[in-house]
Structures are given as structure tokens and as C-alpha cells.
Amino acid sequence: MKRRAVRAATAIAAVSVVTAACSLSDGSGDTKQTPTVTLVTHDSFLAPQEVLDAFQQQSGIKISVLKQGDAGSLTNKLVLTKANPVGDVAYGVDSTFASRALAEGVFEPYTSPEADRGPQRYAVDPEHRLSAVDVGDVCVNVDTNYFTAKGIPAPESYDDLADPKYKDLLVAEDPATASPGLAFLLGTVAKYGEAGWKDYWTKLKANGLKVVSGWEEAYTKDFSGSSGKGPRPIVVSYASSPAAEVGDDGKPRTKALLDTCYRQVEYAGVLAGGKQEENARKVVDFLLSQQFQATVAANMYVYPTRQGVDLPAGWAQVAPLPQKPQALTADQVQAGREKWIGEWRTLVQ
């Protein structure tokens, strides 16, 4: 009898905890006085709350962030919802997907007064529907300790990766499922041209290239220079990755090969058909402003497009911006992407 009472009491207690914690019933009493602009972005978006709060103080606009997958999935969601967009501003459509978004009429023209401080360099669209917010480079990274220990020089160029000296050392991502993989493929297309990239990949394959589906596996499991201590000392990652691999001695364990980089530019724009055009423009200005641009390196491992923005300490040595990265125009990418991925699949798998 007693045990039953205890059980009943536990049950009641559990039920009350459950009901109390239920958040469906909590109306987090936000009085909707401040206008809220919804910023649709990709999963890697990160901005310090203080900076967003400061913007709200200054402009009276609250930014509500809505993450929608990676750059590709973000773009496709924007295309699908263009008749009635889920937000007012989008940030994160990159140079590989920009043409699709522009062709589908997702964005409307807006020239930000902030754009001439640098972002203009990366303009893709004469109508100024997209403003460049950041640039990042996908580069081959190497585990420097591995090559020091083996007493062989680390590779430096695309050609080196196909050199038998570096057999079975490279791990890359599938261009169909991972954006660094796609960028690496595009880099080889830019480097060797329509005529030569397939030959290059045939050599890579013969040289023991390993392909995995995502950056996480490549970098944290296969690569030897990061936490996973995997077997392969060469990986396709980002120019900025070494900044995350600085040891207690202040020295990075890894290095990006600056001759193997492909540039990705990420853009922001005002969504056509959004409900608060005026405020949305102010958010685009904010994304290009000194305050926001100063946060992108430390938070998203990309470089600001604005000139004269300080990088985090040490980036100049550890994660310098490549001087001559490979690049294709948005139109070239749009025209070739699916075809190249298809050809790559038949060739490499």
C-alpha cells in the first residue's frame, strides 16, 4: 500500500514537472513594439549578441535570425519561397549559388552606402541585388608536424598532390554533398580548364585520394592535424582553419597551402516581397558596417569584405588571405556545376 502511494506521488510529481516545463504555454511576454527584421541565413552564421544588441539600440530594429541549412540549401529554400519569403533579408548565398538566386528573382536591387568600402570588388550583379559580406577560401591544409617528422617537404601546389611522393595522404570531400568539396573541384576546373581537370582528378585518384561525404569526417576523423589524429596529413578545408589549431605554444599545428585555394564570396540582399523593405535595407547596411565586419573572422572563420577591418591577432601569420586564389564567375559556375559534379561522380567513384 505504502509503495503504491510513493509511486502515485512520483507520478504526480513527474506530471507536474512536465506541465510546469511545458513551453507551449509560456508566452514569453515580448511586447511587439520594436520592428523585427528576419534575417535568413546559413547554419554557420554566428554573431556576438552584443553586436546585435548594439544595432538594435542604435536603429530600433531587432534582428531575428533564421538558419536554413548550408549555402545551397539556403538558396533553394529562398527560391521555393520567393512568392512569400520567410524573412526580409538573406545572407549566405555564395558565389556558387548566386546565379540561381538572381535568375529566380529572389532579391531586389539595393545599393548600400557601405558597399563602396570594399564589398563592391566582389559585385556579381550590375543591378546590385547582392552585396558581398565576406570572403572565404577553400584551401588544401597540411599537418606540418607530419611532414617535419617524416623529413619530407609539405606539398605546395595542385600538381604536388598528384605526385607519388604524397601517395595515400589526401582526403577530400564529395562535391555533391559538401561545399568545400565543390569548391575544391571548381578550383581544379579553374586551374586546369574544361579540358584538363578530368586528367588531373584521374591522377589524384591513382595517387590514393580518399573521398568522404562531409567536412566533419574529413577534418575530424581522417585528418591527422586536428583533434581526431586521423591517418591522413593532407585535407581539403579552409584558409582560416589553421587559426583554430593553435596549440598552447602559440604555434599552429597546420598550414593552408595558399596556391590551392578557391574563393567563395558570401552575399546578402533584400528579399523581394518581404514586408519591411526599409528596415531590411538597414540590416544590409549593418552587415557591411565596421561593427559587424569586425566580427566575421573570429566567429565564422571568413574574411570581411570591407577594407580596413582588423583581423584577430595572429591571423596574418596563421591564416593569411591567399593572394591569388582560383575563381570562376557566378555564371560559369551556374552553367557548369551540375555537369561537372556528374562527370566527377563517374570519374572518381
Partner 1 sequence: MGPIGFLVVFFAWPVLAIVGRGFAAGGLDVVLGDPQTWRLAGFTVATAAGSTVVAVLAGLPVAFLLARAKLPGVGLARTLVLVPFVLPTVVVGLAFRALWPDGGVLPIVLANAFFNVAVVARTVAGLWARLDSRTSDAARALGASPWRAFRSVTLPALAPAIASAAAVVFLFCATSFGVVLILGGARYRTLETEIYLRTVDLLDLSGASALSLIQFAAVVAALVVGGLARRRKEGARIGSGAVRRPRGGEWWVVGAAGVVLALLLTPIVALLAESVSASDGWSLAGYRALAGTGEKGALQVSGWDAALNSLKVAIDATLLALIVGVLASVVLVALRRSPARAARGLGETLDAALMLPLGVSAVTVGFGYLVTLDALPGDLRTSPYLVPLAQALVIIPLIVRMVLPVLRSVDVRLRQAASTLGASPLRVWREIDLPLTLRPLVAAAGFGFVVALGEFGATSFLARPTSPTLPVAIASLMGRPGELNNQMAYAACALLMLVTVLAVALIDRLGAARGRVGEF
Site for partner 1 in 171-190 (CB under 8 A): 174, 176-177
18 binds partner 1 (CB under 8 A): yes
What is the chain's alpha carbon radius of gyration, rounded to the nearest angstrom?
Answer: 24
46 binds partner 1 (CB under 8 A): yes
For residue 11, the minimal CB distance to partner 1 (Å) is 6
Contacts 24+ apart (CB under 8 A), 307-310: 307/117, 307/118, 308/117, 308/118
Decide: helix, strand or coil at residue 46.
coil
The residue written with cell numbers 580596413 in the block is 308
Contacting residue, 34, 148, 202, 213, with partner 1 by CB under 8 A: 213
Contacting residue, 99, 188, 226, 293, with partner 1 by CB under 8 A: 226
Contacting residue, 211, 287, 302, 328, with partner 1 by CB under 8 A: 211
The residue range among 62-70, 117-125, 194-202, 259-267 that interacts with partner 1, by the rule CB under 8 A, is 62-70
Q: Which three cell numbers stand for residue 274?
A: 518581404
The residue range among 191-199, 223-231, 258-266, 322-330 that interacts with partner 1, by the rule CB under 8 A, is 223-231
Please state, in angstroms and rounded to a whole number, the distance separating the CA atoms of residues 217 and 295.
Answer: 27
Decide: helix, strand or coil at residue 263.
strand
| Crossing angle (nearest 10°) for helices 277-288 and 49-59 | 130
Q: Which residues pair with 90 in a beta bridge?
A: 40, 269
The residue range among 82-90, 125-133, 255-263, 283-291 that interacts with partner 1, by the rule CB under 8 A, is 82-90
Question: CB within 8 A of 346, min separation 6: which ones?
Answer: none
14 binds partner 1 (CB under 8 A): yes
The residue range among 69-77, 115-123, 201-209, 263-271 that interacts with partner 1, by the rule CB under 8 A, is 69-77
Contacting residue, 16, 148, 202, 227, with partner 1 by CB under 8 A: 227
Longest dimension (CA), the chain: 84
Q: Is the CB of 115 or the CB of 171 nearer to partner 1?
A: 171
Give the helix/strand (H/E) hosting 137. strand 131-143
Contacting residue, 54, 66, 272, 347, with partner 1 by CB under 8 A: 66
Size of the site for partner 1 (CB under 8 A): 62
Are the beta carbons of 59 and 303 closer than 8 angstroms? no
Give the helix/strand (H/E) hosting 141. strand 131-143
For residue 265, the minimal CB distance to partner 1 (Å) is 19
219 binds partner 1 (CB under 8 A): yes
